Amino acid sequence: MTMFSLRAVALATATLAAGAAQAQSADLIKAAKAEGQLTTIALPHDWCGYGAVIEGFKAKYGLKVNELNPDAGSADEVEAIKANKGNKGPQAPDVIDVGLSYGPAAKAAGLLQPYKVSTWNSIDASVKDAEGYWTGDYYGVLSFQVNSDLVKNAPHDWADLLKPEYKNAVALAGDPRSSNQATQAPYAAGLSRNGGHADTAAAEGLKFFAEVNKAGNFVPVIGKAASLAQGTTPIIVRWDYNALADRDKLKGNPKVDVIVPKTGVVAGVYVQAISAYAPHPNAAKLWMEYLYSDEGQVAWLNGYCHPVRFNDLVKRGKVPAATLAKLPPAAAYAKAVFPTLDEQKASKEVIAKQWDSVVGATVK
């Protein structure tokens, strides 16, 4: 397991790299404009602020963006590359934005081409392919989404969920036997309990939720914005970007607090990549440069998805104060842990198989 932490880059090296990037960028912009357009897939405008991201890219470079199937999933994106290997037409995606596990799998299948953006050194090695075939783009962390009209003293760490005052209050945002978001909850609680040891986190987390259930605090209902507002599930363990979006959607009725726990801060990351068969490879590279620029990263953050360079942006004072004010404190994300694919797979197997026998609460 690796901690998502900022790696310092020497000032002299950064200055030289910036000059080279500017020279490269002028040629890249020219080549991308000659291609005329970019084809994306699976980018709904209300996800991570992608509507503003796409409009910002078009306005900056004057390129057309052909948007395919906004509601597609990660598997659909990979299949779209496979199905259009020999197709240079409008149905062939240039770029994909997929869950972490799909990046290495698509690379292994020969479906991606490498590209390292000019801000490469400010992206932690734990969330990028060393050869540049895929790059982590944004992430969310598990948080406590709280109906603060009903819960006057919000929980601030996993252990707090055992308090008697949270009787019939704590829910997950899915079935932990099948939902990745829900599966990560006991894993995160386990990390909080055992000091960050991945090998025993799943088992420890199951024991913890068994105690929450025995205390009468666990509600075996899938938590959503509606159930939060109704008071059926006044505390939901949820990805922060979903919780923050719900807060905006509910418009203060009820008042919603989104709290990142003090320990056991587990993050889920998505990755960006360029198709090996991209009809517009230079436009794809320019898109990548835009996404990983300060401007593109802040645009994602405005959509409540923490960009991969978040710590770097905060350290350099590049995040607008108004944006930071709408988010949990930046310091809360400094401890974010990114489970490896192997760790995710191992914990998922344990939690899916043992949830019923250990916790004894079927989530519906």
Q: Are both 133 and 205 inside the same structural domain? A: no
Q: How far apart are CA 108 and CA 196, in angstroms?
A: 30
pLDDT tens digits, 133-156: 999 999 989 999 999 999 999 999
Please indicate, yes or no, if residue 107 is contained in any of the structural domains. yes
Per-residue confidence (pLDDT) for residue 265, from 0 to 100: 96
Task: Provide the pLDDT confidence category of residue 347 given band limits of 50, 70 and 90.
Answer: very high
Task: Provide the pLDDT confidence category of residue 15 given band limits of 50, 70 and 90.
Answer: very low
pLDDT at 20 over 70: no
pLDDT at 221 over 90: yes
Report how many domains make up the chain. 2
Q: What is the mean pLDDT of the chain?
A: 90
Q: Are both 345 and 321 inside the same structural domain? A: no
| Beta strand residue intervals within the chain, DSSP E | 2-3, 37-41, 64-68, 95-99, 112-113, 135-147, 170-172, 235-239, 256-259, 267-275, 306-307, 337-338
Find, among 169, 350, 348, 199, the residue nearest to 358 by Cα. 350
Q: Are both 178 and 239 inside the same structural domain? A: yes
Task: Provide the pLDDT confidence category of residue 17 given band limits of 50, 70 and 90.
Answer: very low
Per-residue confidence (pLDDT) for residue 73, from 0 to 100: 82
Mean pLDDT of 347-352: 92
Least confident of 18-27, 82-91, 116-125, 289-298: 18-27
Please indicate, yes or no, if residue 260 is contained in any of the structural domains. yes
Please indicate, yes or no, if residue 288 is contained in any of the structural domains. yes
Please indicate, yes or no, if residue 118 is contained in any of the structural domains. yes
Q: Are both 226 and 277 inside the same structural domain? A: no
Q: Are both 118 and 175 inside the same structural domain? A: no
Task: Provide the pLDDT confidence category of residue 24 given band limits of 50, 70 and 90.
Answer: low
Mean pLDDT of 167-195: 92
pLDDT at 18 over 60: no
Please indicate, yes or no, if residue 108 is contained in any of the structural domains. yes
pTM above 0.75, yes or no: no
Task: Provide the pLDDT confidence category of residue 180 given band limits of 50, 70 and 90.
Answer: confident
Q: Are both 288 and 345 inside the same structural domain? A: no
Q: Are both 95 and 123 inside the same structural domain? A: yes
Check which CATH number belongs to the domain holding 178 and give it.
Answer: 3.40.190.10
Per-residue confidence (pLDDT) for residue 44, from 0 to 100: 87
Mean pLDDT of 337-364: 90
Please indicate, yes or no, if residue 43 is contained in any of the structural domains. yes
Percentage with pLDDT > 70 across the chain: 93
Per-residue confidence (pLDDT) for residue 179, from 0 to 100: 78
pLDDT at 34 over 80: yes
Mean pLDDT of 155-161: 98
Q: Are both 272 and 243 inside the same structural domain? A: no
Q: Are both 93 and 148 inside the same structural domain? A: no
pLDDT tens digits, 185-215: 999 999 999 999 999 999 999 999 999 999 9
Please indicate, yes or no, if residue 208 is contained in any of the structural domains. yes
- Contacts of 210-217 with CB under 8 Å at 24 or more apart are 210/358, 210/359, 210/360, 211/162, 212/161, 212/162, 212/170, 213/359, 213/360, 213/361, 215/162, 215/164, 215/167, 216/167, 216/168, 217/161, 217/162, 217/163, 217/166, 217/167, 217/168, 217/169, 217/170
Please indicate, yes or no, if residue 2 is contained in any of the structural domains. no
pLDDT tens digits, 35-91: 999 999 999 887 888 999 999 999 999 999 999 999 888 889 999 999 999 899 999
Task: Provide the pLDDT confidence category of residue 2 given band limits of 50, 70 and 90.
Answer: very low
Q: Are both 273 and 262 inside the same structural domain? A: no
Task: Provide the pLDDT confidence category of residue 10 given band limits of 50, 70 and 90.
Answer: very low
Range of the domain at 121: 9-137+268-327
- On the 0-12 / 13-18 / 19+ scale of CB atoms within 10 A, 1 is middle
Q: Are both 48 and 150 inside the same structural domain? A: no
Q: Are both 58 and 45 inside the same structural domain? A: yes
Who wins on pLDDT, 326 or 67? 67
pLDDT tens digits, 234-284: 999 999 988 998 999 899 999 999 999 999 999 988 999 999 999 999 999
